[in-house]
Amino acid sequence: MAEGGHGRPRAWTRELPPVCLGGAWQMAIDAWLLEQAQPALRLYRWQRPCLSLGRHQRRLPPHWLELAAGGAIELVRRPSGGAAVLHGGDLAYALVWPQPPANRRQAYRQACRWLQDAFAALGQPLRFGERPASLAAASCFATATAADLVDDQGRKRIGSAQVWRSGCLLQHGSIQLAPDVGLWRQLFDTPPPALPPLPGGESALEAALMEAADRSLPLPPLRQQPWSAIELAAVAGALAQGRVEAAEPAAASVASPTSPEASIERTTWGRASPRG
């Protein structure tokens, strides 16, 4: 168990090592972090193309299920709301914020400040979208609401969504980098946003994000802390017991049988084991 446990938030924000795992594992990790109700931030990637559905997104086009059944995508459901997001060519983040402002618009503004600061430092300032939220659009990136960040041309770079539990907030976000154009068209019958390249590439973005998080997160200072074997076992148990909601009954089979600790160690970016 991480220092602090349930109840009163600890005096520091846990920075978790970045990992590349399947979608079911990633969602199980974020759901577990929300249960702990302690300040936390993590960045992560995806082992293969994954379509994550918003918590309340129920009407799925038949071809999505066909693509999942054929192995072209993994299909998972997020704890957070919003519409579907195609992952694989993006960098995702999860932010756990105990006792955020009760006003959700204000919470989004404060929870996204570090993202804006990071992109401004890279010379690509972002502003909030202006479209009303709706479940009519199948794709999260088909519209830009007040929860999302767009560039000066109105192109959506970051889509974010939230879930609140007992006064604690989990905010998910997808930072689009190099989406699979063909798969995006297959899923949504539209091209992905045509985004400009990032100066310095993805490594510069990751560095800018963590520097901005230290300055601008509405949370205590960051402290790096790797996963413990006990925590990974708890995440695996939640996944095995079906406590992480599947997108469809068949989607429960997408979780890797590999032990969580071995998976984390193999897939931590460029490292043999999680950094501390």
pLDDT value of position 257: 36
The CA distances from residue 90 to 52, 219, 222, in Å, are: 12, 25, 23
Does any domain span residue 264?
no
The answer to whether the beta carbons of residues 64 and 178 sit under 8 Å apart is no
The 3-state DSSP composition of the chain as helix, strand, coil percent (nearest 5) reads 35, 25, 45
pLDDT tens, position by position, 257-271: 344 444 333 333 332
Q: In the prediction, which pLDDT does 38 show?
A: 97
SS3 of 207, please?
Answer: helix
The per-residue pLDDT for 141 is 78
Q: How many domains does the chain have?
A: 1
CA distance 223 to 11: 10
Give domain status of residue 257, yes or no: no
Q: Please report whether residue 260 resides in a domain.
A: no
Return the pLDDT at 256. 40
Q: What is the pLDDT of residue 167?
A: 92
Active-site annotation holds for 140: yes
Q: Is 9 a domain residue?
A: no
Residue 272 has pLDDT above 90, yes or no: no
pLDDT tens figures, 205-249 = 999 999 999 999 999 999 999 999 999 999 999 888 876 555 443
Instruction: Give mean pLDDT, residues 160-188.
Output: 94
Tell me: the pLDDT tens digits for 135-148?
556 778 777 778 89
Q: What are the structure tokens assigned to 235, written together? A: 């995440």
Query: Bigger pLDDT: 143 or 25?
Result: 25
User: What CATH number is attached to the domain comprising 218?
Assistant: 3.30.930.10
Per-residue pLDDT band for 122 (boundaries 50, 70, 90) equals very high
Residue 7 lies in a domain: no
Q: Is 272 within a domain? A: no
pLDDT at residue 2, rounded to an integer? 43
Range of the domain at 228: 19-251
Residue 65 lies in a domain: yes
Residue 164 has pLDDT above 70, yes or no: yes
Q: Has residue 188 been placed in a domain?
A: yes
**At residue 134, does pLDDT exceed 80?**
no
Once rounded to an integer, what is the mean pLDDT over residues 100-109? 92
Strand intervals (E) in the chain: 13-15, 19-21, 40-46, 50-53, 74-77, 85-87, 90-98, 127-128, 149-150, 156-165, 168-176, 222-224
Owner of token pair 């299920």: 65
How far is residue 87's CA from residue 51's CA, in Å, rounded to a whole number? 6
> Which of 20, 50, 112, 140 is the catalytic position?
140
